[in-house]
Structure 1
Amino acid sequence: MTRTRPHRPGTDRRTLLAALGATGVAAGLGTAVGAGGGTANDSPAVPPQARPARAAAAAPSAPAPSTLATAAAPQGTGTYRRLAAGAGWGRVVREDLAAARRTRAERRTVLASCVQLTDLHVVDVQHPLRSEYLRFAGTKGWRPQEALSVAGVVSLIEQVNALDGGPATGAPLDFVMTTGDNTDNNCTAELEWFLTAMSGGRVIPDTGDPAGYEGVQDSGLPVYWHPESGRRDAHKDLGFPRLDGYLEAARRPVRSPGLTVPWYGTVGNHDVLPGGCYANGDDFLTEFAVGDRKLFSLPPDEAAELHRRIREGLDPDGELFKDLLRAHARDMRTVTPDPRRAPYTPADYVRAHLDPRFTGPGPAGHGYGEANLAEDRLYYSFRIADGVLGVSLDTTRRGGHYTGAVGRTQLRWLERTLREHRDDRVLVFSHHTSRTTPGGGAELVALLRRNPQVVAWINGHSHRNEITPHGTFWEVSTASHVDFPQLARTIELTDNGDGTLSLFTTLIESAAPHGVEHGDLSRSGLASLYRELAFNAPGRRTTLAGEPGDRNTELLLPRT
Structure 2
Amino acid sequence: MRGMSAYSRRQFFTGASAAAAGAALALADTRFASAAARDRAVAASAARAVRTGGTTLEQVAAPTGSGPYKRLRSGPGWPLVVRTDLAPAASARDDRRTALASFVQFTDLHLADTESPVRFEFLAPHLDSAHRPQEVLTVRGASSLVERVNALSGGPWTGRPFSLVMATGDNTDNHELIELDWYLSVMSGGRVTPNSGDPARYEGVQNSGNAAFWHPESSFRDAYKGRGFPEIPRFLSAAGSSFTAPGLRTPWYSTVGNHDDSIEGTLPDLGLLHSLYTGDRKLEGCDQAEAAKLADALRKDPAQAVLRLAKLLENSGPVRRVTPDARRAPFTPKEFAAAHLDPKYTGPGPVGHGFTASAADSGKLYYTFPVADGVLGISLDTTNPAGWADGSVGTAQLKWLESVLQSHSGHWYDADGHVVKGGPAGQLVVVFSHHTSTSMGNLLPNPHHPFEKRHDGNALVALLQRFPNVVAWVNGHTHENRITAHGHAVPERAFWEINTASHVDYPQHARIVEIADNGDGTLSLFTTLVESAAPYDTDFSDTSEAGLAALYRELSYNDPYATPDKKIGAPADHNTELLLTKPRG
Counterparts of 2:125 and 2:160 in 1: how far apart (Å)?
A: 49
Instruction: Give yes or no for contact 1:118–1:480 (8 Å, CA) kept in 2.
Output: yes
CA shift, 1:229, in A, is 1.3
CA apart distance, 1:313: 3.5
- The one-letter code of the counterpart of 2:367 is Y
Unaligned 5+ residue runs, structure 2? 5-46, 410-425, 444-455, 488-493
Q: Could you tell me whether the CA contact under 8 Å between 1:2 and 1:105 is conserved in 2?
A: no
Give me the whole-angstrom Cα distance separating, in 2, the residues matched to 1:237 and 1:323.
Answer: 33
Equivalent in the alignment of 1:525: 547
1:225, distance to aligned residue in structure 2 (A): 0.3
Which residue pairs with 2:412 in the alignment?
none
Q: Bigger shift: 543-552 or 398-407? A: 398-407
Aligned to 1:29: none
TM-aligned CA deviation for residue 172 of structure 1: 0.7
Q: Distance in 1 between matches of 2:220 and 2:186?
A: 35
Write the deviation string for residues 403-462 of structure 1: whole angstroms up to 9, x where unpaired. 111111110000000000000100000000000001421110000011111000000000
For 1:298 and 1:65, the matched residues in 2 are separated by 45
Question: 125, 143, 146: which is aligned to 2:114?
Answer: 125
One-letter code aligned to 1:145: Q
Which position in structure 1 is the counterpart of 2:73?
84
Indicate the residue corresponding to 1:416 in structure 2. Answer: 403
**1:500-515 residue pairs with structure 2 within 5 A?**
500-515=522-537
Equivalent-residue separation in structure 1 for 2:135 and 2:360 (angstroms): 32
Deviations 1:532-558 (A, max 9, x none): 000011021121110000000000000
Contact 1:317/1:400 (<8 A) preserved: no
Cα distance in structure 2, aligned partners of 1:373 and 1:211? 35
Q: Map of 1:48-63 to 2, 5 A cutoff?
A: 61-63=50-52
**1:193-222 deviations in Å (ceiling 9; x for gaps):** 000010010100000011111100011111
Q: Does 1:322 align with 2:319?
A: no
Write the deviation string for residues 508-540 of structure 1: whole angstroms up to 9, x where unpaired.
000000111110100110000000000011021
TM-score, structure 2 as length reference: 0.84
Structure 2 partner of 1:379? 366
Deviation larger for 503-512 or 532-541: 532-541
2:124 maps to which residue?
135
The yes-or-no answer on 1:157 pairing with 2:179 is: no
Report the 3-state secondary structure (helix = DSSP H, G, I; strand = E; otherwise coil) of the residue aligned with 1:350. helix
* 1:135 positional shift: 3.0
Cα offsets for 1:263-293 (capped at 9, x unmatched): 01100000111111122241x3110000000
Q: CA deviation at 1:138?
A: 7.5
Of 428, 435, 443, which aligns to 2:438?
435
Identical aligned residues as a percent: 52
Residue 478 of structure 1 is matched in structure 2 by 500
Q: Relative to 1, partners in 2 of residues 1:501 and 1:316: Cα closer, same or farther, differing over 3 Å?
A: farther
Q: Which amino acid aligns with 1:318?
A: V
- Structure 1 CA distance, aligned partners of 2:362 and 2:339? 16
Listed one character per residue, the Cα deviations across residues 103-156 of structure 1 (whole Å, up to 9, x for unaligned) are 211111111100000000000000000010103558552110000111100100
Contact persistence 2:268–2:302 (CA under 8 A): no
**Matches of 1:202 and 1:216 in 2, distance apart?**
26
Q: Which amino acid letter does the alignment assign opposite residue 322 of structure 1?
A: A
In structure 2, C-alpha distance between the alignment counterparts of 1:269 and 1:350, rounded to whole Å: 15
Alpha-carbon spacing, 1:343–1:76, altered in 2? closer, same or farther (3 Å): same
1:2, distance to aligned residue in structure 2 (A): 3.1
Contact 2:337/2:363 (CA < 8 Å) preserved in 1? no
Structure 1 position 474, deviation (Å)? 0.2
**Which secondary structure does the structure 2 equivalent of 1:74 belong to?**
strand
Distance in 2 of aligned mates of 1:119 and 1:139: 15
Q: How does 1:103-252 map to 2 (within 5 A)?
A: 103-135=92-124, 137=126, 141-252=130-241
Aligned to 1:274, what secondary structure does the other structure show? coil
CA shift digits 1:133-186 (9 cap, x unpaired): 103558552110000111100100000001100111110111000000000011
1:293 to 2:281 alignment:
yes
Establish whether residue 553 from structure 1 lines up as the match of residue 576 from structure 2: yes
SS, match of residue 318 in structure 1 = helix
How many residue pairs get aligned? The number is 505
Give the distance between the partners of 2:126 and 2:557, measured in 1 at CA: 21
Tell me the TM-score normalized by structure 1: 0.88
Q: 1:172 to 1:59 in 2, by over 3 A?
A: farther
TM superposition shift of 1:230:
0.9
Structure 1's consecutive aligned runs of 4 or more residues displaced over 6 angstroms after TM superposition are none
For residues 239-388 of structure 1, the aligned pairs below 5 Å read 239-282=228-271, 284-315=272-303, 318-328=306-316, 331-388=318-375
Deviation, structure 1 residue 61: 4.1
The reply on whether 1:391 has 2:358 as its aligned counterpart is no
Structure 1 position 76, deviation (Å): 1.8
Q: Which whole-Å CA distance do the structure 1 matches of 2:238 and 2:217 have between them?
A: 11
Q: For 2:121 and 2:56, how far apart are their aligned partners in 1?
A: 32
Q: CA deviation at 1:314?
A: 4.0
Alignment partner of 1:488 is 2:491: no
1:544 corresponding residue in structure 2: 567
Q: Which consecutive residues of structure 1, in runs of 5 or more, have no partner in the other structure?
A: 5-57
Residue identity opposite 2:568 in structure 1 = A
Instruction: Please give the alpha-carbon distance, in whole angstroms, between the structure 2 residues aligned to 1:138 and 1:435.
Output: 20
How far apart are 1:319 and its partner, in Å? 3.5
Give the CA deviation at 1:384: 1.8
1:402 matched to 2:384? The reply is: no
- Code of the aligned partner of 1:307: A
Q: Cα offset for 1:374?
A: 3.3
Whether the 8 Å contact between 1:2 and 1:59 is mirrored in structure 2 is no
- Structure 1's 474 and 61: CA in aligned 2 closer, same or farther, altered over 3 A? closer
User: Per-residue deviation at 1:332?
Assistant: 1.4
CA distance in 2, matches of 1:240, 1:524: 19
User: Corresponding residue for 2:485?
Assistant: 469
Pick from 535, 544, 550: which aligns with 2:557?
535
Larger relative contact order (C-alpha < 8 A, sep ≥ 6)?
1
For 1:314 and 1:61, locate their aligned partners in 2 and report how far apart those are by CA, in whole Å.
Answer: 49
Which letter maps to 2:577?
A: E
Give the Cα separation in 1 of the matches to 2:395 and 2:313. 36
